[in-house]
Amino acid sequence: MSGYLDVGGRCLLAVVFLMSTVGKARSPALFRAFAKSLRDLRVLPAGGETAAAALIVAAEATGGVLLVFDATATGGALLSAALLTVFAVVIAWSTSRGGSAGCRCFGASTRPLGRAHVVRNVLLALVAVFVAVASHDQRLLAPGTAVALITGGAVALVVARLDDIVDLFGASPDPRTPH
């Protein structure tokens, strides 16, 4: 059972990070908007946002790719856990100081970062920790593996589009965030 949870968790994290990478890097305008959102967090020295944005995109892409292969899954999971923890801490710290950066986590959304984004990143970091300690060389049956991959991918799509889903139903994921 834990082997299928590992596969599902790896798929979830890999898809989230690869969607995030593509969302930010698919056009120069989206990359610049992401860099500006880093400036709006007010945690970086002035002028450091473009380099930080490039580093984040590269780290997310690396983590996503490393999670795909059994031999590198633990490293990908540890990188993912570290990134997600830093994201959660930075968002919490910035918003507690009045920062109002838009969530450019997946490229286009402008919903202000808030508690829901912190919770999302903490939960994903917990998945990454589970994946890091899981065994990646178990013999799994194809039907169970398919279900784990489909489930991980579906959850990743919900995670990546959560701001849009919340907007669709008119609810705010964060009480400080207007619709």
Q: Per residue of the chain (179 residues), give pLDDT as tens.
A: 678 999 999 999 999 999 999 999 999 998 998 998 888 887 888 888 999 999 999 999 999 999 999 999 999 999 999 999 999 999 999 888 877 777 888 877 778 888 888 999 999 999 999 999 987 667 878 898 899 989 999 999 898 888 877 778 765 555 554 44
Length of the chain in terms of residues written: 179
Residue 112 phi, psi (nearest 5) = -60, 140
Whether 3 and 140 have beta carbons less than 8 Å apart is answered as yes
Tens digit of each residue's pLDDT (9 = 90 or more) over 22-72: 999 999 998 998 998 888 887 888 888 999 999 999 999 999 999 999 999
